């Protein structure tokens, strides 16, 4: 029996997404995104969970954004509950790129405080994109519980997320400036400085915050 050309093309595409050569996987994801086909949504999402190359994952995400949100979002919402960290992280990243606010209920406190830094960072970015108007303060309150967490890259991601929420974060940051934990105070001060002077740079802001904390100050402007 001769396989119809459509089915042959589909098989070839599925094989391309699993090819050992990352450049082949990249080109296949590009092709799928260029000519969206709902048959490949599950495969794209499944590949996101295990793809080792960052630039290929980005192309997979782009390909998913080219498909109907009505088809992709429900599948991605299932992925954010996966036991695999990369699956959760990439699904959250893709949801942030799609920007469908119907996905907001899936951005739970558990994800925003996930033990895996990459998952948490993806949740922070998705939360900022998807948060409904009027709920920014509640999101800021949850994000503030993560102040002082991780290394510089993680801290910068959190600062950017908080700053993106706008002035509603300032009361939360000021409260965190009196936290018992020095790392939390430093991070809160640095974020507030960066909010007021985006050109200062995070490294400068965090070093200045360390100095303020060491001197026993809170860094708030009078």
CB atoms under 10 Å from CB of 134, counted, come to 8
Which of these three, 72, 104, 130, is where a domain ends? 130
**Is residue 222 assigned to a domain?**
no
The Cα 50–Cα 74 span in angstroms is 20
Cα distances (angstroms) measured from residue 6 to each of 29, 37, 43, 117, 161: 17, 11, 17, 41, 44
Query: pLDDT tens, 43-65?
Result: 999 999 999 999 999 999 999 99
**Is residue 108 assigned to a domain?**
yes
Tally of domains in the chain: 2
CA nearest 142: which of 118, 167, 123, 164? 123
Strands (E) located in the chain: none
CA nearest 77: which of 102, 47, 106? 106
What's residue 208's pLDDT? Answer: 76
The Cα 94–Cα 89 span in angstroms is 9
Q: Is 51 exposed, middle or buried, given 0-12, 13-18 or 19+ CB atoms closer than 10 A?
A: buried
What's residue 215's pLDDT? Answer: 67
The Cα 83–Cα 79 span in angstroms is 9
Query: pLDDT tens, 82-98?
Result: 999 999 999 999 999 99
Low-confidence ranges of the chain (pLDDT < 50): 1-4, 220-222
**Is residue 220 assigned to a domain?**
no
In this structure, is the dihedral angle defined by the CA atoms of residues 132, 76, 22 and 3, taken in order, positive or negative?
negative
* C-beta of residue 190 within 8 angstroms of C-beta of residue 159: yes
One domain, residues 49 and 12: yes
DSSP 180: S
One domain, residues 9 and 98: yes
Give the residue numbers spanning the domain of 12: 1-130
What's residue 204's pLDDT? Answer: 66
One domain, residues 119 and 142: no
Q: Cβ contacts of residue 220 below 8 Å, gap of 6+?
A: 174, 177, 192
Which of these three, 101, 130, 159, is where a domain ends? 130
């Amino acid at each position: 029996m001769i396989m119809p050309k459509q089915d042959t093309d589909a098989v070839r595409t599925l094989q391309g997404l699993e090819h050992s050569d990352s450049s082949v996987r990249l080109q296949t994801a590009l092709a799928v995104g260029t000519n969206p086909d709902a048959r490949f949504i599950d495969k794209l999402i499944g590949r996101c969970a295990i793809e080792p190359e960052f630039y290929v994952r980005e192309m997979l995400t782009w390909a998913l954004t080219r498909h109907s949100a009505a088809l992709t979002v429900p599948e991605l919402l299932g992925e954010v509950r996966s036991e695999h960290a990369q699956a959760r992280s990439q699904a959250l990243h893709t949801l942030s790129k799609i920007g469908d606010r119907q996905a907001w209920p899936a951005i739970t406190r558990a994800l925003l405080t996930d033990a895996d830094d990459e998952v948490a960072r993806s949740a922070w970015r998705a939360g900022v994109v998807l948060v409904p108007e009027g709920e920014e303060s509640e999101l800021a309150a949850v994000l503030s519980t993560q102040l002082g967490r991780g290394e510089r890259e993680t801290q910068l991601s959190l600062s950017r997320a908080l700053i993106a929420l706008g002035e509603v974060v300032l009361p939360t940051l000021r409260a965190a400036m009196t936290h018992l934990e020095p790392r939390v105070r430093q991070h809160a001060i640095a974020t507030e400085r960066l909010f007021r002077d985006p050109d200062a740079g995070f490294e400068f802001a965090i070093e200045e915050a360390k100095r303020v904390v060491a001197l026993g100050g809170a860094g708030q402007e009078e």
